[in-house]
Structure 1
Amino acid sequence: MYSKHTELFGILGYPLGHTLSPWIHNTLFQLSGYDGVYLVFENEKWKEIGLRPIIDLGVKGVSVTIPFKEWAYGQANTVCDASKTMGASNTLLFRDGIHAVNTDGTGAVLAISKSNPDLLDPKKEKQILVLGSGGSAKGIVYEIAETLKNNARDKKIQRKIKLLARNEFTSKEIQTALGNPDWITITSKKECLEEVDQYDLIIHTTPVGMKGYGGEPLLDSKFFTKKHTLFDIVYNPLETDLVKEAKKKKAEIIPGYHMLLYQGIRQFELFTNVTVKPKWIQKVESLLLKQLKSRN
């Protein structure tokens, strides 16, 4: 039931036929008793349209997805540290102006930590390989870098982050934004294959593998071993071709929908100022998984 007091939220992007964000937020509205509804604002011309129509509609906040995260950052009056550092935002709050937040990294770090905390241990002399350098990669690399720095009590970080992307310019942008530390470097496919044993975590951040997207992944099945953990942030389909190939090689898998879940929970808390309870998370996760399985 909706009334004149019901608060409006939604997701802004293109395409959005695959999105499961409404399931997360509308379920949380129901579980929390919050008078809100989460809608889908699908259009490929948001840059031309601008945010005024959404604001005039009375929308209180939106999630922002491909390909508008960098654009969203530029629309804000105030921004969080992650957004400011990486120039990309996946959340806009319309309160006394426009406030931009990036919860991608928060969701990714939570998903990784809950799977295996050692993967973010700065003392381990292993490497994290990040595939892609777009808006999602920016938020994820920022939060991982912050986590490594916060966990390194002596401020010495043994673990390295390697960036592999087709766009070297945006990879360099990530390095520069983070202050060019010597433990974040750009790599090549050839170098990756030579250093296979040096990696324990591979994070795929590009849309390749997502329903509706073509293209070849940056790495193929030859790369993976049972010593690797693959975190492919694509969640629809439930298992991308990259995940299937990695599983054949006995690699550990962190499901992409875990990032969707945890970043969405953080967005809900920002939208509503309501703290999400663990039992709500379990309920939303089971619904997400059921939805994903029905679509595969």
Structure 2
Amino acid sequence: MYSKHTEIFGILGYPLGHTLSPWIHNTLFQLSGYDGVYLVFENEKWKEIGLSPLLDLGVKGVSVTIPFKEWAYSQADTVCNASKTMGSSNTLLFRDGIQAVNTDGTGAVLAITKSNPDLLDPMFEKQILILGSGGSAKGIVFSLAETLKNNAGDKKIQRKIKILARNETASREIQTALGNPDWLAVTPKEECLKEAELYDLIIHTTPVGMKGYGGEPLLDSQFFTKKHTLFDIVYNPLETDLVKQAKKKKAEIIPGYSMLLYQGIRQFELFTNSKAKSKWIEKVESLLLKQLKSRS
């Protein structure tokens, strides 16, 4: 039931036929008793259209997905540190102007921590490999950096992060944005393949493998071993070809939907200025997994 007091939120992107964000947010509104509704704003021309139609409609906030995360950042009056550093945002809040926030990294770090907190131990000498250099990669690298720094305290970070991407310029921009720290580097594919055993966590951030997207993944099954953990942030299908290949080699898997869940929870908290309860998160995760399985 909606009324004139119902607040409107939604997701902005293209294509959005696969999105499960409405399931997450509308379920959270229902569980929390918040008078809100979450809609799908699908259009490939948001850059040309601009945000005025949403503001005229009275929309209070939107999730932003590919390919508009960098553009969303550029539209804001105020931005969070992650957005400012990486030039990319996945959340816009329409309150006292336009505020940009990036919850991608927060969601990714929570998903990794829930799976295996040792993977974010800054004293661990194994390396983290980031596949891709787009908006999601930017948010994730920023939050990984913040987490490693916080966990290290006064100690020097031993853990290194390498970026493997087709767009080397974008990869270098991530390095520069973070101040070119000695623990962050760009790696060519040949070198990466030779040093496969140096990595323990591989985070795939590109849309390759997502329903509706073509292209070849940057790595294949020859790379993976049982000593690797693969976190593919693609969540539809539930298992991408990359995940299937890694599983055959006995690699550990962090499901992509867990990042979708936790970044969405953070967005809900920003949208409503309230804290999500554990029982709501468990309920949403259960429904999300059920919905993904039905689509597989």
Partner of 1:199: 199
Q: In structure 2, what residue type is equivalent to 1:177?
A: A
Correspondence 1:59-208 to 2 at 5 A: 59-208=59-208
Structure 2: distance between partners of 1:142 and 1:92: 18
Q: Quick check: 1:266 aligned with 2:266?
A: yes
RMSD: 0.4
Alignment-derived partner of residue 243 in structure 2: 243
The whole-number CA distance in structure 1 between the counterparts of 2:183 and 2:28 is 39
Q: Which moves more between the two structures, 188-197 or 128-137?
A: 188-197
Give the structure 1 partner of residue 16 of structure 2: 16
- Aligned counterparts, 1:255-294, within 5 A: 255-294=255-294
3-state DSSP of counterpart to 2:192: helix
Distance 1:132 1:159 in 2: 19
**Partner Cα distance (2:188, 2:268) in 1:** 38
Give the structure-2-normalised TM-score: 1.00
- The C-alpha deviation readout for 1:33-77, integer Å capped at 9, x for no partner, is 000000000000000000000000000000000000000000000
CA drift at 1:155? 3.4
Which residue of structure 2 aligns with residue 224 of structure 1?
Answer: 224
> Deviation at 1:274?
1.4
- Report the AA paired with residue 131 of structure 2: L
Which of 131-140 and 186-195 deviates more?
Answer: 186-195
Deviations along 1:176-231, whole A, 9 cap, x unmatched? 00000011000011111111111000000000000000000000000000000000
**Residue aligned with 1:150, SS:** helix
Code of the aligned partner of 2:39: L
Aligned residues: 296
> What is the rounded CA distance, in whole Å, between the counterparts of 2:197 and 2:135 in structure 1?
28
SS in 2 for 1:236: coil
> Distance in 2 between the 1:222 and 1:271 partners?
43
SS in 1 for 2:40: strand
Q: Deviations over 1:219-245 (max 9, x none)?
A: 000000000000000000000000000
Residues in 2 aligned to 1:95 and 1:193: alpha-carbon distance in whole angstroms: 47
78-87 or 190-199, larger mean C-alpha shift: 190-199
Q: Find the residue that maps to 1:226 and give its secondary structure.
A: coil
Aligned to 2:209: 209
Residue 55 of structure 1 is matched in structure 2 by 55
Q: Distance in 2 between matches of 1:153 and 1:41?
A: 42
